[in-house]
């Protein structure tokens, strides 16, 4: 294995540049290095002006999402040696406005996430000294969807989000479903009203790429299809029993 | 809902229809059923219902999917009304034709 | 962008290319899956033509059968067969994602939900073939 590899990294300075450009950097190729290590090497030794987000460097914070050779990846979880002999193209996450270099504007996702009401909603609160009990089976029902680290790789992979920026997107819907399925939650009907429309769950055409790129195996595509089924059942129930037969 | 129903109907029923009427009978792999046999089958009310379902639901499935593909895939949103008319209008027209033909079997 | 400031005056919006679906194999597979619906619609047209010919009499039906034997129609229907099967297989494989069924606390595997669909497919197809061929 060679001991150097070339990275082609997107550069963009909003104050001076009209469009994105790719700059090449040659970095050491160490077998245990991830792409994030290479980016930090560039910043430390080659070009201190390179900007990018990262934090935990171990795949739990969701900060370091970028596009590596055309695929959305967490750069802290992507080994450099997998791309030998290179070059490796590192670009900002797709489908988001680029603020600078590899940093994108994530505010759209945060707005949509808040709309999903990702918290326990209770119609009747229990008194403070009473616990909400939950069996392992009940936790199992939503656990997979709770693994989301909000890294937004699924938004980068989703062609519907790329083509229609109003689409709620995989993570926002998967997280809504995470709370819908939580036995302690009583807010499913509120969320349904918010999400069951053309730009919500019905915007999804089940491409399935979100599930492919998710680093935590959340499977947002499955969450959305299950949500569609639930929404259809609720619609049918309302049709057949119009007077408040909703179970939740 | 029509989309799902159409999807299931086209998945379950169409392959054998295409295999037989599209390839096996024209190519002579199997003996073609006689005109009389087919006419007798089609006269039966159950067959008419079956054929109506076979012709109408998949058309709505197509309408929904094709509309999305044009809308998203080719990004021609500005032709939205035209696409909608073509797809859902086409499906409704096909369903009407199916109903007419099946109703008027001698 | 949400809040342009003096130091971040603007952001760069990449336009999505009309050929976005060619960029990755997964996207192309998706578009092909959606395109299968066109062939589904075509088969409906063929079925309607057959029904109309049956109504009109044996001569018309024989003429339609001849038309179906032409090389262009055979090729078209062969391609249609491929796409209709492609639709069926992708449809049955994706159904388990939408349906979470629990038996005795454990969730049914994808295979357990997809398999009955395939079995039904074979049984129904055999039944239809039998009805058509026994005359």
The average pLDDT across C18-41 equals: 89
The average pLDDT across A23-48 equals: 95
Kindly report which listed range (C32-41, C65-74, C126-135) carries the lowest average pLDDT score. C126-135
What is the domain-level CATH number for residue A162? 1.10.1060.10
The average pLDDT across B23-41 equals: 82
pLDDT at position A152: 96
| Strands annotated E in C1-135 | 102-103, 106-107
Q: Out of C73, C121, C132, whose CB is closest to B12?
A: C121
- Distance, in Å, from the CA atom of B86 to the CA atom of B66, rounded to the nearest integer, reads 10
B32 contact C CB<8A: yes
pLDDT at position A248: 44
More confident residue, B42 or A136: A136
The verdict on a CB contact (< 8 Å) between A164 and B75 is: no
DSSP secondary structure, B40-80, as one string: HHHHSHHHHHHHHHHHHHHHHHHHHHHHHIIIIIS--GGGH
Rg (alpha carbons) of chain C, rounded to whole number: 24
Residue among B4, C25, C15 nearest A212 (CA): C25
What is the domain-level CATH number for residue A54? 3.10.20.30
Mean per-residue pLDDT over chain A, rounded: 91
Range of the domain at C22: 1-83
The verdict on a CB contact (< 8 Å) between B68 and A205 is: yes
The average pLDDT across B72-81 equals: 70
Q: How confident is the model at residue B52 (pLDDT cuts 50, 70, 90)?
A: confident
Q: How many domains does chain A have?
A: 2
The verdict on a CB contact (< 8 Å) between A205 and B72 is: yes
Q: Is residue A245 part of a domain?
A: no
pLDDT at position A90: 96
Phi and psi for A146 in degrees, rounded to 5?
Answer: -85, -5
Q: Is residue C89 part of a domain?
A: no
pLDDT at position C10: 81
Residues C68 and C129 in one domain: no
Q: How many CB atoms lie within 10 A of CB A133?
A: 8
Q: Is residue C117 part of a domain?
A: yes
Indicate whether A244 pLDDT > 50: yes
Range of the domain at B70: 2-103
pLDDT at position A130: 87
B93 contact C CB<8A: no
What is the domain-level CATH number for residue B78? 1.20.1300.10
Q: Which residue of B has its CA nearest to A160?
A: B72
- The structure tokens 């990846």 sit at A73
Residues C31 and C78 in one domain: yes
* Burial annotation C37-47 (CB, 10 A radius, 16+ → b, else e): bebbbbbbebb
pLDDT at position A243: 64
Residue among C96, C97, C79, C74 nearest C32 (CA): C79
pLDDT at position A198: 80
- Distance, in Å, from the CA atom of A10 to the CA atom of A4, rounded to the nearest integer, reads 19
Q: How confident is the model at residue B76 (pLDDT cuts 50, 70, 90)?
A: low
Q: How confident is the model at residue A170 (pLDDT cuts 50, 70, 90)?
A: very high
- Distance, in Å, from the CA atom of C2 to the CA atom of C11, rounded to the nearest integer, reads 10
Q: How many domains does chain B have?
A: 1
Range of the domain at A82: 4-104
With beta carbons under 8 A apart, name residues in chain B contacting C62. 35
Residues C66 and C111 in one domain: no
The verdict on a CB contact (< 8 Å) between C26 and A163 is: no
pLDDT at position C86: 92
More confident residue, A244 or B93: B93
The length of chain B in residues reads 106
């Amino acid at each position: 294995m060679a001991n150097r590899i070339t990275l082609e990294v997107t550069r963009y300075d909003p104050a001076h540049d009209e469009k994105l450009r790719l700059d090449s950097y040659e970095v050491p190729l160490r077998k245990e290095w991830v792409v994030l290590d290479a980016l930090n090497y560039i910043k430390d030794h080659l070009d201190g002006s390179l900007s990018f987000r990262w934090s935990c460097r171990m795949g739990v914070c969701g900060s370091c999402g970028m596009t590596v050779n055309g695929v959305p990846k967490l750069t802290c979880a992507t080994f450099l040696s997998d791309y030998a002999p290179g070059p490796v193209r590192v670009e900002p996450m797709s489908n988001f406005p680029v603020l600078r270099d590899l940093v994108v504007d994530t505010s759209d996702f945060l707005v949509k996430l808040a709309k999903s009401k990702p918290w326990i909603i209770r119609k009747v609160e229990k008194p403070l000294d009473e616990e909400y009990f939950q069996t392992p089976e009940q936790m199992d029902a939503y656990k997979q969807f709770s693994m989301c680290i909000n890294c937004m790789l699924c938004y980068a992979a989703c062609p519907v989000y790329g083509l229609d920026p109003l689409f709620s997107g995989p993570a926002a819907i998967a997280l809504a479903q995470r709370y819908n399925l939580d036995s302690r939650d009583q807010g499913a009907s509120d969320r349904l009203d918010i999400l069951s429309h053309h730009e919500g769950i019905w915007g999804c055409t089940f491409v399935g790429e979100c599930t492919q790129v998710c680093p935590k195996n959340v499977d947002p595509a499955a969450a959305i299809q299950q949500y569609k089924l639930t929404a259809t059942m609720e619609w049918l129930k309302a049709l057949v029993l119009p007077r408040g037969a909703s179970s939740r | 809902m029509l989309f799902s129903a159409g999807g299931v109907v086209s998945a379950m029923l169409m392959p054998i229809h295409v295999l037989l009427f599209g390839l096996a009978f024209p190519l002579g792999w199997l003996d073609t059923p006689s005109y009389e046999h087919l006419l007798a089958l089609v006269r039966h009310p159950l067959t008419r219902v079956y054929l109506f379902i076979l012709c109408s639901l998949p058309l709505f499935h197509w309408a929904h999917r094709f509309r999305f593909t044009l809308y998203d895939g080719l990004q021609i949103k500005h032709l939205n009304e035209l696409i909608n008319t073509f797809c859902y209008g086409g499906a409704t027209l096909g369903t009407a034709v199916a109903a007419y033909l099946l109703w008027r079997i001698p | 962008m949400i809040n342009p400031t003096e130091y971040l005056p603007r952001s760069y919006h990449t336009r999505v290319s009309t050929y976005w679906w060619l960029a990755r194999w997964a996207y192309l597979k998706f578009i092909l899956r959606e395109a299968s619906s066109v062939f589904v619609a075509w088969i409906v047209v063929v079925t309607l033509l057959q029904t109309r010919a049956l109504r009109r009499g044996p001569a018309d039906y024989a003429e339609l059968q001849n038309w179906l034997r032409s090389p262009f129609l055979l090729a078209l229907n062969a391609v249609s067969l491929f796409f209709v099967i492609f639709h069926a297989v992708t449809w049955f494989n994706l159904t388990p994602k939408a349906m979470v069924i629990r038996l005795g606390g454990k969730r049914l595997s994808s295979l357990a939900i997809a398999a009955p669909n395939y079995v039904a497919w074979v049984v129904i197809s055999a039944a239809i073939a039998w009805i058509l061929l026994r005359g």
